[in-house]
Chains A and B, each alone.
Chain A
Amino acid sequence: MKTHEYQARDLFAAYGIPTSKGALARTPEEARSAFASIGQAHCMWKVQVQMGGRGKAGGVRRISSADEAARLTAEYIGKTFSTYQSPEGKTVRAVLLTEDKPILAEYYLGATIDRSSGLPVLLFSKQGGVDIEEVAAKDPEAILKHRFSPGALPAAADLRSLVGRQISDASQAAQIADIATRLARLFVEKDAALVEVNPLALSEGNTILALDAKIVFDDNALFRHADIAALKDPEEDDERERKAKAFGLSYVSMNGNIGCLVNGAGLAMATMDMIKLAGGEPANFLDVGGGATADQVREGFKIILQDDRVQAILVNIFGGIMKCDVIAEGVIQASREISLSVPLIVRLEGTRVQEGRKLLEQSGLRIASCKSIQEAAQTAVRQAREHADVHSR
């Protein structure tokens, strides 16, 4: 689960991580008083949407008056904001005004899980303020790492000598190490998956400040953090992805024209790959879980069809515990209930597959029942093309 910058900043403050002074505004009037409350000649004004690249898209500005704060806020609130990283865009509901702190240097500080060692890891780099992935790709040595056990949080002294490898100023290194220990504690105590401060800035008076804040929480641990779960902004979720979740389906929208419905995440990805290999483009990823009930198939179809680019649906189910004839009945029932109008291609394999295929063939519906996934993918690509041709005439 992601949070907004202002929410992450509040958590930073609770853990004693120094940030700049700030105030949230949801209306132009609030923006006006936020500017006044910060009490400086200039402020930073930042749209609160969960996406990267805000600055380049005009969502982060240096402003000079309460009027400007109000005018900009009026211009952006309630409107869709997009960046090169999130071209689909999201509605702006709030803006954050912060002190305009002089930045003398930009560093990077983060915490995440290191999959290789299976441990949390603190990451620090002198090269902050830029895309850290690029730094990692170009020069992995530029990122310092400190792995730690959740049961034994890192000591400030250890971190100080580590940070000292890149930061020669002793006071700065000590401040960074102190912030890093606090970040590690937040990471563990709140079950985060990722905490990032980019930039961690060197400001006036040789002080270190967290000038941006990003936290991603482990969804699996929200059950034990009511305070974190309450921060969830439902508007940040894709409408279709949210609906899918309610039925135990996992849906991710893509750009192609062949919808797919598959049981199991790995098989769903491999099915998309097969569509591509057959010369088509998948419209979505949709995992109905290990089972696949008639209800799930019906809801899955509905969600897929909300995307009007879809010209065919490919169902690929490996029936293990769930038998193929039961799944076939579900598919038939779902197609009838929603009067499916695009070609349906079904590939069943596994337990009671003969009975399942027979049901599909005898249903009287226009369902192409395929034996191999290759045949199914090729059939879906061909039928989608034919369907598109007929409907564009």
Chain B
Amino acid sequence: MSILVDASTKVICQGITGKAGSFHALQCLEYGTRLVAGVTPKKGGTTVGTIPVYDTVGEAVAKTGATASMVYVPAPFALGAILEAVDAGIRLIIVITEGIPTLDMVKAVEYASAKGARIIGPNCPGIITSGSCKIGIMPGYIHQKGRVGVISRSGTLTYEAVWQLTQVGLGQTTCIGIGGDPVIGTGFIDALGMFEKDPETEAVLMIGEIGGSQEEEAARYIRAKMKKKVAAFIAGTTAPKGKRMGHAGAIVSGAKGTAQEKIATLQENGIHVVRDLSRIGAEMKELVG
């Protein structure tokens, strides 16, 4: 078991003929992902490696029965690509593209939720179920099938944490990069709920950072709804104020989005917070036993 994706998930790649799209599609295929098709308008009939390319998502779905899509389409066209995937019946859309206008993501998430599809990202490393399905840009070999679910707003910081979990022998069930943009398709709470229900996941590691109030909301959710153990790491204790966020988020949340406040809220809700980056694996091991 795992969450959202497993060895049976059929995946297409939108924007597969671009440099990043083709490279990572082939890497995913090599990892064992059932990457069954690619989509790039006007490139239908060609192939990337052994992967057939179609003009539209509709065609690719009709030919392959894919239910998930990995999106590398350039930011100005990403909204159109996401809406196309939703309309074609794709249920899980993983958006790797960085730099998508915030209001485009507002529209994409509204549309997908109304039609029962889920978006992960944008601006994220993707999702991976260790040993069976990698959809994204994370290096596959650092992951190992195991017991911990990972949810993260960051990229390389996630690799660091995953690598430590592998080194201490805990491994991971599924690892989701939810992305660091202001508007995202899947948040901490959505992912925590899914991990709580997954029988293979014994504990969850959440990796947050400054800005917004997602971690605080997750802390209250964990206390109220979760039986499984959760540990957290929050980056940005030393981050200068006001550099990455205007006071917009602060007004809305009634808090200021600093790492200190997030850590305090997590601890108040009984969640173990790892303070030393190099001890994520070790402290997770102590927690899980």
- Chain A positions near chain B (C-beta within 8 angstroms): 110, 112-116, 118-121, 123, 132-133, 136-137, 140, 143, 145, 149-151, 188, 191, 193-194, 216, 218, 220-221, 223-224, 252, 254, 262-267, 269-277, 282, 285, 290, 318, 320-321, 349-351, 372-374
Contact = CB atoms under 8 A, between A and B. Distances in A.
B196 interface: no
Contacts of A373: 160, 277-278
Given A275-B238, A290-B156, A320-B142, A194 B248 contact: yes
Contact of B154 (A118, A267, A273): A267
Contacts of A285: 239-240, 243
Given A119-B106, A191-B101, A273-B236, A290 B155 contact: yes
Nearest to A271: B277
Contacts of A132: 247, 251
A135 B57 CA distance: 48
B253 interface: yes
A220 B74 CA distance: 12
Contacts, number: 189
A320 B156 contact: yes
Contacts of A269: 157, 209-210, 235-236, 238-239
Contacts of A137: 254-256
Interface string B250-276: 111111100100000000000000011
Given A114-B252, A221-B101, 12 more contacts: A118-B106, A118-B183, A123-B251, A132-B247, A149-B106, A193-B102, A193-B248, A216-B246, A223-B75, A349-B160, A373-B277, A374-B276
Interface of B: 23, 27, 75-76, 99-107, 109-110, 137-139, 141-142, 152-160, 163, 180, 182-184, 207, 209-210, 212-214, 217, 233, 235-240, 243, 246-256, 259, 275-279
Given A120-B103, A269-B236, A113 B248 contact: yes
A151 B109 CA distance: 13
Contacts of B163: 318, 349-350
A264 B276 contact: no
Task: With a 10 A CB-CB cut-off, give which of B139, B157, B251 has the most chain A CB atoms.
Answer: B251
Contacts of A318: 156, 159-160, 163
A52 to B, nearest CB: 9
A112 B102 contact: no
A194 B246 contact: yes
A345 B183 CA distance: 37
Contacts of B157: 264, 266-267, 269-270
Contact of B102 (A218, A254, A271): A218
Nearest to A108: B251
A192 to B, nearest CB: 9
Contacts of A320: 137-139, 142, 156, 159
A97 to B, nearest CB: 27
B99 A220 contact: yes
B254 to A, nearest CB: 4
A149 B110 contact: yes
Given A133-B250, A193-B246, A276-B238, A116 B217 contact: yes
Contacts of B152: 266
A136 to B, nearest CB: 5
A183 B238 CA distance: 35
A70 B256 CA distance: 41
B101 A274 contact: no
B80 to A, nearest CB: 13
A221 B103 contact: yes
The 8 closest A-B pairs by CB, nearest first: A266-B154, A264-B156, A266-B157, A112-B248, A320-B139, A221-B101, A374-B278, A269-B235
